[in-house]
Chains A and B, each alone.
Chain A
Amino acid sequence: MANGTAQNSITLRTDAWWISPLITAIVLGSFGIYSTWRAFSNVDFLVQPYLSPFYSPYILASWWPFSPALLILWAPLGFRATCYYYRKAYYRSFFLAPPGCAVKPLAKEGSYTGESKFPFIIQNIHRYFFYAAGVVLFFLWVDAFHALWFADGFGIGLGTIILFVNVLLLSMYSLSCHSFRHLVGGKLDVFSKCPTRFRLWEKVSGWNENHMLWAWVSLFSVALADLYIFLLAKGIITDVRFI
């Protein structure tokens, strides 16, 4: 501790600083448990014309004995795990590094290496997970349009709307990514020589201001989209057809 004489307690904060990391831990933890269960279950993910986002794109490979979800979920999982917003969220909530501002972290003084050493140095390849998640996102758009075609022809069901809202929110989460913001124009020092990239950077910067919001709503939407299809497959609910 630099100023050993002044403060030795965990924190002198008097506000409820612990509520935010606690809620984050509960919600992220719940999503982790739910998505792991659904990814490994390998059932109740397809009700024509709806495909669960956890299983998209649906890969049927004879050489793969496990759930096909495991072949693709590494991409969105890696994208979220290395996301600059989620890093803040889970470093605070799960690693207590630190749990709150001006609150003593869990790690002992001097033992901390942050993202300068393995394993967290891997966070530097966030952009590659962005590319991989982009491929999955493309297939989610394909699935959303596929959800317009029922056995009796064109139609719109509640599932169609859910899949479209989900893919739209996932797109906003992806397009507001800090790495994308950098690649699209942030890396430039002279914007005036690249006006198109500057306009793109401005647009992405605007979306990026709400990256946390997109991160949360897209997390909820992907879970709800899967849950809706699961409940349909189980016969617990029936789809509502609007057209």
Chain B
Amino acid sequence: MSVAKLRIYRGDSDGGQEVEYEVPVEEGTVVLDAIHFVQANYDGDLAVRWNCKAGKCGSCSAEINGMPKLTCKTRLDTLPLDKPITVHPLKTFPIIKDLVTDVSWNYEVRKKIPPFKYPEDTDWKMQQVDVERSQEFRKCIECYLCQDVCHVLRNHNKKNEFFGPRMMIKIAELEMHPLDIEDRKEMLREAAGIGYCNITKCCTDVCPESIHITDNAIIPLKERVADTYFDPLQWIIAKVKGS
């Protein structure tokens, strides 16, 4: 059995440092297992948020060797074990303790998105072909890895101006719903700040559910905003159609 060295960030809002631990590596051992080993054998007060250990609850997000990942889905044997593995909390959100951060900002932003709105005489019959696009976005487990890696939030701290990739797929889910009649384009351009996204696709790269955040949500939303605010030809077509 081989041994891995983990450098886990220990600290709180006042500061902290990496602490090194040695953990055994067996076939299938994931980083969350290693953290649990540390809790059980070295430091019982190591704080980590986790729940399902199956990649579905989105609780155990952290930065492993600098990349935002789910600790429960990251096998140690996929990492270079000749060097210590760093495990840090999500950089974008305020730290509470050790690997636990305060992600409540996301819930506050989520409340700003106008909810699903349907016509009064809706008969609720939908074709599968019409709802399939939105269903991809419903796979989101709200792990906030995409919010964490987005440089607009992570490095430029534009939390008052940009909702972030997770909220963009929520808006896309609603905007593309065949029965929804709410228009969120003005909000997308203004409050949600879709113009801040520069399509560098890191959100898509880190998504554990493999949602095509950029190609299927953010870019189509940017195109819808372009229809309304940047395309005179679309304005004429809309005028002629009377819509």
Question: Which residues does A use to contact B, with CB under 8 Å?
Answer: 1-3, 5-7, 11-15, 84, 87-88, 91-92, 97-98, 101-102, 104-105, 107, 109-117, 120-121, 124-128, 178-179, 181-183, 186-187, 189-192, 198, 208-209
Question: Which residues does B use to contact A, with CB under 8 Å?
Answer: 9, 11-16, 63, 65-68, 80, 83, 86, 88-95, 101, 127, 129-130, 149, 151-159, 175-178, 180, 193, 195-202, 205-206, 215, 219-220, 222-227, 229-231
Contact across chains for A124 and B155 when beta carbons are under 8 A apart = no
Instruction: Give the chain B neighbours of A191 by CB distance below 8 A.
Output: 127, 129-130
Which residue on chain A has the smallest CB distance to residue B102? Answer: A3
Which residue on chain A has the smallest CB distance to residue B92? Answer: A2
CB distance from B59 to the nearest CB of A (A): 18
B202 partner, pick from A102, A186, A190, beta carbons under 8 A: A102
CB distance from B130 to the nearest CB of A (A): 5
The contact sample of 7 A-B pairs, CB cut-off 8 A, is A5-B13, A14-B65, A88-B198, A98-B155, A98-B200, A101-B206, A105-B155
Instruction: Give the chain A neighbours of B93 by CB distance below 8 A.
Output: 2-3
Instruction: Give the chain A neighbours of B195 by CB distance below 8 A.
Output: 113-117, 121
User: Which of A91, A98, A125 has most B Cβ within 10 Å?
Assistant: A98
Contact across chains for A87 and B130 when beta carbons are under 8 A apart = no
CB distance from A25 to the nearest CB of B (A): 14
Contact across chains for B152 and A112 when beta carbons are under 8 A apart = yes
Contact across chains for A92 and B196 when beta carbons are under 8 A apart = no
**A87-B198, A88-B199, A182-B220 are known contacts. Are A102 and B67 too (CB-CB below 8 A)?**
yes
Q: How far is the CA of A189 from the CA of B206 in the complex (A)?
A: 28
Contact across chains for A192 and B130 when beta carbons are under 8 A apart = yes
Contact across chains for B198 and A120 when beta carbons are under 8 A apart = yes
CB distance from A24 to the nearest CB of B (A): 12
Instruction: Give the chain A neighbours of B231 by CB distance below 8 A.
Output: 125, 127-128
CB distance from A135 to the nearest CB of B (A): 15
User: Which of A3, A13, A84 has most B Cβ within 10 Å?
Assistant: A3
Q: How far is the CA of A120 from the CA of B159 in the complex (A)?
A: 20
Which residue on chain B has the smallest CB distance to residue A124? Answer: B230
Instruction: Give the chain B neighbours of A105 by CB distance below 8 A.
Output: 151, 155-156
**A12-B66, A116-B193, A124-B225 are known contacts. Are A3 and B90 too (CB-CB below 8 A)?**
yes
A5 partner, pick from B15, B130, B153, beta carbons under 8 A: B15
**A5-B95, A91-B199, A98-B155 are known contacts. Are A186 and B220 too (CB-CB below 8 A)?**
yes
**A124-B229, A187-B227 are known contacts. Are A1 and B129 too (CB-CB below 8 A)?**
no
Contact across chains for B223 and A179 when beta carbons are under 8 A apart = yes
CB distance from B240 to the nearest CB of A (A): 16
Instruction: Give the chain B neighbours of A3 by CB distance below 8 A.
Output: 89-95, 101
